[in-house]
Amino acid sequence: MSDFTEFFSFTDANVRFVAIGSVLLASSSAVVGCFTLLRKRALVGDAVAHAVLPGVCLAFMLSGTKNPLVLLLGAFITGWLSLIVIDFITSRSRIKEDTAIGLVLSVFFGIGILLLTSIQHSGNAAQSGLDKFLFGNAAALIGEDLIVFSVVALLLLVCTVVFYKELMLLCFDEAYARTIGYPVRALELLLTTLTVFAVVVGIQAVGVVLMAAMLITPAAAARFWTENLRLMLVLAALMGAFSGLAGAYVSYTAPSMPTGPWIVLIISMIAISSFAFAPGKGWVSRIWKQRRNKARVLEENLLKLMYQLGEPNQDYYSSRNVTDIMERRQIPKSEISKGLRKLKREGYVVKDKNAWVLTRQGQTRGMRVVRLHRLWELYLTQFLELASDHVHEDAETIEHIITPELEQKLMQELQYPVLDPHNNKIP
């Protein structure tokens, strides 16, 4: 508890630099990452992250100093150049973008490693610590670095706010943006520049290897929680900021733990939790929805079968046992029993000794399913001219998803029919 209090009191200047720098880095890159993700260019961030290393090395070799502004300028130039090369390769050859990204990433990173190795063997004492751009070293951030982080983060956020509408249209409907006169090429260039800025400013903390995760992971996690872009940007920024602060705290309490990898690990844990538990899109939600739909289909099939058993004598409220239903349709006995028990709880059937009886509510629902099935069969034979013996299976599927509005439309189109293609009465 004392470590927690001391950390958030920011009594140590180095703690302030690391914590604030990590938050600025993670939140600003997450915002830009949202647009990169929506543009389906997630791998571009990885290519840029690896392509900045030769720029850092060249800037050091030419200037002889580790001034962050000089090094980041060199990183920006080669990072931006890598995207130009990717676009050039994809537009001038048959090579697809993913292949071009792989080529550029490996070539630029290989050149960067060669230059870094050359610097390390040059005997230049000033090169100490330059390798932190490869693996990151957030704990070594100083006040000068924090100023650069702040300026770049502010620039990214301001550009996002000012060009929000244009970037949104670019991500969701590029063709429409071009039609109404938006400078699509210029907007792509802007997004490219923002992506490079986000990557360049982050490599000092997490390194070229992990920077792509900082750019894309918060955006991917936020995407599972909302369909609203504004809310997605806010959620991504908050997730990124939390991971940055939490990673800095872990590094503070356990000095042997590197900040950058912990930031990535924490945001990855948030992303995995989002993938699993986000409402509507998460794995758990989808599995639950699939099970619920499967149960509803079984219930409606059972009500339909019990209704059909009573059709010959118009006796819909007689007792039916499981064997009667199985003779009508091959459904496992265990599933029939389970479905009937649930229908009983919902008031659609009642149990009479070892048999089951439709209630009035169950008879109404079963009749509707039968009606939808036969309407769809008739629609397929009349409008699509399918043979009457080829429409049953399709109707078995569609009968469970036809809405009341569509049902009424079918009735009107078919002019309120009485018989289906098999001369069965449509209830």
Would the pLDDT of 125 be above 70? no
Please report how the helices 184-223 and 229-253 are oriented relative to each other, as an axis angle in degrees rounded to 10: 60
Tens of pLDDT, residue by residue over 372-384, are 998 998 898 988 8
Helix (H, G, I), strand (E, B) or coil at 276: helix
Write down the pTM of the prediction: 0.77
User: Mean pLDDT of all residues in the chain?
Assistant: 83
Residue 256 has pLDDT above 80, yes or no: no
Q: How many CA atoms, within 13 angstroms, populate the side-chain half-sphere of residue 220? A: 19
pLDDT digits (tens, 9 = 90+) for 289-319: 999 999 898 898 888 988 888 888 888 788 8
Check whether 191 has a pLDDT greater than 60: yes
Q: Quote the CA–CA distance of 308 and 316 in Å, as a whole number.
A: 8
Of 81-85, 232-236, 315-319, 394-398, which range is least confident? 315-319
- Core vs surface per residue 352-374: b (16+ CB within 10 A) or e: eeeebbbbeebbebbbbbbbbbb
Q: How confident is the model at residue 239 (pLDDT cuts 50, 70, 90)?
A: very high
What would the mean pLDDT of 268-293 be, rounded to a whole number? 90
Averaged over 193-211, what is the pLDDT?
Answer: 74
Residue 403 has pLDDT above 70, yes or no: yes
Question: Tokens in use for 115?
Answer: 């230059």
Distance CA 174, CA 349 (A): 54
- Measure Cα distances from 195 to 76, 272, 338 in Å: 10, 24, 54
Domain definitions of the chain by residue range? 2-279, 286-413
Where does 286-413 sit in CATH, by number?
1.10.10.10
Confidence of residue 200 (pLDDT cuts 50, 70, 90): confident
What is the SS3 assignment for 210?
helix
CA distance 62 to 187: 32
Spell 251-286 as b/e; 16+ CB within 10 A means b.
bbeeeeebbbbbbbbbbbebbeebbeebeeebeeee
- On whether the CB atoms of residues 36 and 215 are closer than 8 A, the answer is yes
Decide if 138 contacts 210 (C-beta within 8 A). no
For residues 41 and 138, the model is more confident at: 41
40: left (phi over 0), alpha (psi -120 to 50) or beta: left
Q: How far apart, in whole angstroms, are the C-alpha atoms of residue 186 and residue 179?
A: 15
- Say whether pLDDT at 417 is over 80: yes
3-class SS at 319? coil
Whole-number percent of the chain with pLDDT over 70? 88
- Domain 2-279 grouped into CATH 1.10.3470.10: yes
Does position 232 have pLDDT exceeding 90, yes or no? yes
Confidence of residue 130 (pLDDT cuts 50, 70, 90): low
- pLDDT for 128 equals 61
Mean pLDDT of the 161-189 span:
88
Q: What is the mean pLDDT of residues 223-250?
A: 88
